[in-house]
Structure 1
Amino acid sequence: MTVTAERPAPTRQTWRRGRVVAAFAVLTALLLLAHPLVPNWAGNAGSLLETFLPWTGLLVLPLLVAALVRRSALALLALLLPALVWGGFFGTRLFDKREPGGDLTIVSHNVNDENPDPAGTARALAAAGAQVIALEELKKSEVPKYEDALAAAYPHHSVQGTVGIWSTYPLRATRPVAIMPWTRALQTTVDTPKGPVAVFVAHLPSVRVRLDAGFTANGRDAAMDLLADAVAAEAAPRTVLVGDFNGTADDRALAPVTARLQAAQEEAGDGFGFTWPAALPLARIDQIFVGGVRPVAAWTLPATGSDHLPVAATVAF
């Protein structure tokens, strides 16, 4: 006669194992839930966290491995918390929300002032078929190359400082927007066949992570406030704001804009749409925000000679 031993039922010790792993799982969930409470007075730590907030989900993976090694039911159960919280924050961004149709397509690209092929970059952007192309970080000596490459398809254009706009439709009332001592933003009106659209193009100051100063975002934040004031003063019912913001839509520094305008990628994109660095994108710091129009599709374009990826969006009136 063969006797089969029964598997012992879980004991109190089974549930006690992995308490440290479970505690870290709970802390990860709390970090996601309470990220607005992380202060910015200590080296802009809150903004730095929010810049890479989607990547906090990766913290679950080593915790999962530890829970399996420990054979801890408690830890495995606790890991559901950060997984559910992350899904609540970012789950919808994983789905393709793009739709066909739309009335206006706009492309925005930080072309990099050290771009080795300005003409090729311009031709690649024009191939997207957008009616409006906005460029940031234009080098004065290279502007004629962009103008020559885009002249045939985009007869209307304006360059203000280091930002420019090219359009198949007429532009009017184009002027610089003062967000820094030198011009890195512009405002214009695009007269489309279905009515005017106010378009802002901006390139906010760069940010760095330094051991002695933390996340050096104060200059960017000050420029962001000035830009938000200009957008708020715009009376047009349709507004599009594009550019390199050196910040993500999750960053509290962009709240003056995100409280008023929609991020096209979040509303009508496919995935996170990371744009920087182009070789291995980790964050979406190039944005298209819209108000008074409905985003129907948003996407990134293939890499050019820049260290950023171009972004595009189509909106419906």
Structure 2
Amino acid sequence: MAQQAYMTETDTGGSGPERRTSRLRRLLDRLTRGWRGDRRIWRRGLVLAACAALLSLVMLAHAHIPNRVGNLGSLLETFLPWLGLFVPLLLLLALFRKSATALVATVLPAMVWLNLFGGLLTDKTAPGGDLTVATHNVNAQNPDPAGTARDVAAAGADVLALEELRASEVPTYEKALAATYPHHAVVGTVGLWSKYPLSDVQAVDIRLGWKRAMRATVTAPAGQVAVYVAHLPSVRVKLAAGFTARQRDKSANALGEAIAAEPLKNIVLLGDLNGTMNDRALHAVTSQMRSTQGAVGSGFGFSWPASFPMARIDQIMVKGAEPESSWTLPATASDHLPIAARVKITAPDD
């Protein structure tokens, strides 16, 4: 009876890892059935292979795609990580077509995507940091500003930046945040709340005609930090005009000039830049600052739209200071997600 039981178990594929291996073998056998002995497997799927090569080229050369027509380059760079979705699609089509050529070609865009974004798939969060900062576009049409203020205050940031503040709602935010943040300043539609003293508060001219950027010195226990808060102009995708971002680009250049002229060593930029780190139009800023998400975050950290985040257009960036960790906060009543980071303030002579 023992021998019969043993033979029965073996006949059904064994147990544990052996059974799983047997199932995988049968699945692969079904997928490749009809391929064996078929010399056409290398001649089929040439169009799919060409599509895989084109996808790889677009990802590799995204910086060279011109912006002259509808800012196509910037539009592509805004959603560049999502091109990775075409890789499994090409893989499935290659299997369906029973094309070895297409299967091999699909490896190329997969490797390119991993080279560009694979580092974001690992958790680079590190303990420590002298200052916790957060930023949130609260949405001018926010139906619950007091609740939104309480939600972001609960995150425990030492310094909190808010964008898209409607003048009539500023007192609501001030009241809701007063217990947590004894120091604050509002300039136009942006504001800064801090547990530590603020000084040298001033508007930053980003060539808009109205105030959507500010700068302040935060005197933290570890040292002084120049904190910039900015809300760059919105961008739109229109059928006739394409990606309309000219005003955003002009404001980004002006913001970059202001940061380059900053005398303090430790600088933190908080805000809604209406653009991603991949977007060449933000080069005036991104060329001199580091994104906390790219350096020490976990995942892509998409922040907009809150209902189904597709891009990280809200940014925390540093210059001089060292990022330690970065994360996305839970949704509020806004159409953006708040984001936070911990940074280490470096000594002036470091």
1:34 is matched with which residue: 61, 74, 79? 61
How far apart are the structure 1 equivalents of 2:80 and 2:147?
Answer: 34
The offset of 1:157, in angstroms, is 0.5
Is the 2:35–2:41 Cα contact (8 Å) retained in structure 1?
Answer: no
The equivalences for 1:1-317 within 5 A come to: 12-179=39-206, 180-317=208-345
Structure 1 residue runs without a partner (length 5+): 1-6
What code does the residue aligned with 1:273 have?
Answer: G
- Using a 3 Å threshold, how does the CA distance of structure 1 residues 39 and 155 change in structure 2: closer, same or farther? same
Structure-1-length-normalised TM-score: 0.96
Does 209-218 or 12-21 show the bigger shift? 12-21
CA displacement 1:172-225 (0-9 Å, x = unmatched): 000000111000000111001111000000000000000110000001000000
How far apart are the structure 2 equivalents of 1:154 and 1:268?
Answer: 26
How far apart are the structure 2 equivalents of 1:59 and 1:256?
Answer: 31
- Using a 3 Å threshold, how does the CA distance of structure 1 residues 71 and 174 change in structure 2: closer, same or farther? same
3-state SS of paired residue (1:79): helix
Percent of residue pairs identical: 59
How far apart are the structure 2 equivalents of 1:213 and 1:160?
Answer: 32
Is the 2:35–2:98 Cα contact (8 Å) retained in structure 1?
Answer: no
Does 243-252 or 10-19 show the bigger shift? 10-19
Is the 2:291–2:317 Cα contact (8 Å) retained in structure 1?
Answer: yes
- Using a 3 Å threshold, how does the CA distance of structure 1 residues 8 and 259 change in structure 2: closer, same or farther? closer
Does 45-54 or 114-123 show the bigger shift? 114-123
The offset of 1:13, in angstroms, is 2.4
The offset of 1:293, in angstroms, is 1.3
CA displacement 1:99-130 (0-9 Å, x = unmatched): 12210000100000011111111111111111
Structure-2-length-normalised TM-score: 0.87
How far apart are the structure 1 equivalents of 2:114 and 2:35?
Answer: 35
CA displacement 1:215-261 (0-9 Å, x = unmatched): 00001000000010000000111000110011001100111111111
CA displacement 1:24-82 (0-9 Å, x = unmatched): 00000000000011100000000000000000001112211110011111110000000
CA displacement 1:131-158 (0-9 Å, x = unmatched): 0000000000000000001111111100
How far apart are the structure 1 equivalents of 2:95 and 2:107?
Answer: 14
How far apart are the structure 1 equivalents of 2:189 and 2:68?
Answer: 31
How far apart are the structure 2 equivalents of 1:77 and 1:44?
Answer: 33
How far apart are the structure 2 equivalents of 1:42 and 1:251?
Answer: 16
- Between structure 1 and structure 2, the one with the greater Rg is 2
- Using a 3 Å threshold, how does the CA distance of structure 1 residues 10 and 28 change in structure 2: closer, same or farther? farther
Equivalent residue pairs, number = 311
Is the 2:134–2:340 Cα contact (8 Å) retained in structure 1?
Answer: yes
Is the 2:42–2:101 Cα contact (8 Å) retained in structure 1?
Answer: yes
